[in-house]
Amino acid sequence: MTTSLIMREPAPLTSARAEPRRRHWDRWLPAAVLLAPSLCFLLLFTYWPVVRVVGQSLLVGRFSGDNTIGLGNYQRLFADPHFTRAAWNNLVYALGTIVPSLVFALAFALGLREATRLSTLLRTLVVMPLLIPLVAAAALFSFLLLPGDGLVDFYLARFGLGMVNWLGDPDLALGSVIAITVWKNTGYYMLFFLAGLAGVPQELLDAAKIDGAGPWRRLRSITLPMLGPTFAFVVPVALLNALTQVDHIVTLTLGGPSDATSLLLYYIYQQAAQNYDFGLAAAATVVSVAVLLAVSLISFRLLERGTHYES
């Protein structure tokens, strides 16, 4: 009895290996196509400018054709007293704008939390400065703070006070700019706090009130911890605004008097657009962005520790 064996040819290894690859590409190709425009946008307008600025800070010298490789621009930057003054002014400006703006914004949000006709009107008044461009607001305050003829000096004269040069006095100029910024940004931050307060359960506050907790205790133990995600978002935004808002400086003081209101972004503008020192401007940009990123990460981590998220 003969046994016939039928030998089958094995399937090609190439097709067996290609099948998982084909399924892999079929799964990821639509996602890649959808993400391609955003990736191109990020590469062209985010990552490439960062690489270019870092390269300019290391390769571009002070004069045309002076290619200084290394940290020469950073050495010149930290030896420049104008940069030191601008960095100190920016620190004072950040503390003087962020803390009062957030405190006022939270106070307004707590006071105007209930939706009534009066609260709606007051919300509109607080948010209205947000609708005014920063340049227009600065131009408005340049007339209000005009020495002798401005509206502020007019009312101060009613109380027997003399003329005050709000923007021309080195001791008052930065404080005046800070006050304008607080007036401009408070309503913006209030909107975020109002959204965050909407997520605080009212029954939790009522239960604490029944248990005898006063307003301050309820605020400290319930409201503020549950506003952790809001603070984690608002504080980095406020830090970014403190480093990037420069329109009012250009409109009001041009960094003066005697560099009293010169901020980091205005210093970068001066070096690049007026002095044509692109290497120094690039070095100042890298330092500013690095400091902003470090402070934002630290503040975000600190705020995240006590943050409560609803599941």
Total residue count of the chain as it appears in this document: 311
- Give me the number of domains the chain comprises: 1
- pLDDT for position 70: 75
Establish if 37 belongs to a structural domain.
no
Query: In angstroms, rounded to a whole number, what is the distance separating the alpha carbons of residues 181 and 138?
Result: 9
Establish if 66 belongs to a structural domain.
no
Confidence grade of residue 148 (pLDDT, cut at 50, 70, 90): confident
Confidence grade of residue 99 (pLDDT, cut at 50, 70, 90): very high
- pLDDT for position 5: 47
Dig out the tokens for 158 from the structure.
Answer: 């009613």
Establish if 43 belongs to a structural domain.
no
Domain residue limits at 198? 78-305
245 touches 181 (CB < 8 A): yes
What SS3 state is found at 165?
coil
Establish if 236 belongs to a structural domain.
yes
Establish if 106 belongs to a structural domain.
yes
Q: What's the pLDDT tens digit per position in 190-234?
A: 999 998 888 888 888 888 888 787 888 888 888 888 888 888 889
Query: In angstroms, rounded to a whole number, what is the distance separating the alpha carbons of residues 102 and 182?
Result: 9
When pLDDT is averaged across residues 76-88 and rounded to a whole number, the result is 92
Q: Which of these, 240, 234, 227, 241, lies nearest to 306 by C-alpha position?
A: 227
Residue 83 pLDDT greater than 70, yes or no:
yes
- pLDDT for position 305: 64
Query: In angstroms, rounded to a whole number, what is the distance separating the alpha carbons of residues 304 and 298?
Result: 10
Poorest-confidence range of 13-17, 66-70, 118-122? 13-17
Q: Which of these, 274, 265, 273, lies nearest to 292 by C-alpha position?
A: 265
Q: Tell me the C-alpha to C-alpha distance, in Å, between residue 253 and each of 90, 139, 176, 262, 263.
A: 15, 11, 11, 9, 11
Query: In angstroms, rounded to a whole number, what is the distance separating the alpha carbons of residues 273 and 285?
Result: 14
Rg (CA), the chain: 29
Residue 113 pLDDT greater than 90, yes or no:
no
Using the structure block, give the residue that is written with the tokens 């560099």.
259
Establish if 123 belongs to a structural domain.
yes
Query: In angstroms, rounded to a whole number, what is the distance separating the alpha carbons of residues 298 and 290?
Result: 12
Confidence grade of residue 95 (pLDDT, cut at 50, 70, 90): very high
Establish if 61 belongs to a structural domain.
no
Establish if 97 belongs to a structural domain.
yes
Confidence grade of residue 127 (pLDDT, cut at 50, 70, 90): confident
- pLDDT for position 1: 45
Per the model's pLDDT, the better-predicted residue between 80 and 1 turns out to be 80
Q: Which of these, 109, 134, 95, lies nearest to 239 by C-alpha position?
A: 95
Confidence grade of residue 307 (pLDDT, cut at 50, 70, 90): low
What CATH number is given to the structural domain containing 218? 1.10.3720.10
* pTM tops 0.85, yes or no: no
Confidence grade of residue 81 (pLDDT, cut at 50, 70, 90): very high
